[in-house]
Structure 1
Amino acid sequence: MKTRIQLMTQDSAVAIADTWNYEGIYSFYDAAADEEDYQELIDPAQRKSNYYEVLKNNELFGYLVIIPKDTNIVELGLGLRPDLTGRGLGQAFIEEALQFLMTSFPIVTHVELSVAAFNKRAFKVYQAVGFSEGEHFLQATNGGSYDFIKMSKKIK
């Protein structure tokens, strides 16, 4: 499958925000689960140039959020289309995201991300591609406070 990663279009942002609904405990990741997250996703001014769409064979496959933290550190957020989760695609998806970071942001040497502690599936994928577990912290989101794990990886 041919993969293309580019700045997110408004059509993709609205599709993700309004139609991507995850099943079971993963509904936590629905954009509509948190009003601030939803607004950031659908508003181009809030999205800035931090959101990227991942297309495979010209179909929306996933998205990346890349937020500079320091000169050579970025925070990475990502989402895979709901019907593609749980099918063993996560490792290749994160590897493509890391490759995109290395080629598009050559100054970046470290990547950080946060994963909800209940999301054992994602945690295993991040470990499999070399992310190290860091601090646990509480994050206010989705109308509550949830345990998250900070993870990091050196990419250069």
Structure 2
Amino acid sequence: MISSPVTFRVVPMEITHAEEICLWNYEPPYNIYGWQRWDQMQALGIEFGDPEIRSHQYVSVLNDQDVFCGFAQLFPMEGVVRLGIGMNPDFCGHGLGKLFVDSIVKVALKRYPEWEIDLEVLTWNQRAIRTYRKCGFTITDTYERRTPTGDKPFYCMVYDK
């Protein structure tokens, strides 16, 4: 746990942040959250590798020293914005999750004030689930979804405004 207070601010995602995300290495079992190489992401035009998707849906989260700590995707659907959240593995497990997620939720509420906010999380990821609960999310559904390693069970969690 980090002892001094930390603040986060959310800014548009820069291309350097997108490149950096592709270099992050998570310890198992969290390595399922890794991304393809940056050149592949760009060549395929997927996710933050597509400049238009990156500018409209992705944001970077910086700490009070302007260090890139993570990102979020704010994926608009009909009446719902789905959050995809990724924290730099160097910052995981240090008690920063609630402040980090709260900063992202604040941006989602500002961008989509009338919409529901939800997210998906693998059912085994209790560390993330605890954080999301502390931030006001509730499990509302369970279902299987395809992942790079096959179909896995997910929770849908909805933010209670």
Indicate the structure with greater helix content: 1
Out of 53, 57, 73, the position equivalent to 2:60 is 53
SS of 2:32's equivalent in the other structure is helix
Gaps of 5+ in 1: none
Out of 24, 27, 39, the position equivalent to 1:20 is 24
Q: Distance in 1 between matches of 2:98 and 2:53?
A: 29
Deviations 1:39-97 (A, max 9, x none): 323221443510001111211011010011224x2111111110111111111111111
Aligned length: 151
RMSD of equivalent CA atoms: 2.2
1:11 shift after superposition? 1.1
- Assess if the C-alpha contact under 8 Å between 1:32 and 1:38 holds in 2: no
TM-score, normalised with respect to structure 1: 0.86
Out of 119, 125, 130, the position equivalent to 1:119 is 125
**Relative to 1, partners in 2 of residues 1:51 and 1:101: Cα closer, same or farther, differing over 3 Å?**
same
Match of 2:3 in 1: none
TM-score, normalised with respect to structure 2: 0.83
Q: Distance in 2 between matches of 1:103 and 1:48?
A: 17
Range moving further from structure 2, 22-31 or 47-56: 47-56
SS of 1:102's equivalent in the other structure is helix
Match of 2:155 in 1: 149
SS of 1:52's equivalent in the other structure is strand
Q: Distance in 1 between matches of 2:158 and 2:86?
A: 17
Match of 1:8 in 2: 13
SS of 1:32's equivalent in the other structure is coil
The structure 1 segments of at least 4 consecutive aligned residues displaced by more than 6 Å after TM superposition are 35-38
Gaps of 5+ in 2: 1-5
SS of 1:114's equivalent in the other structure is strand
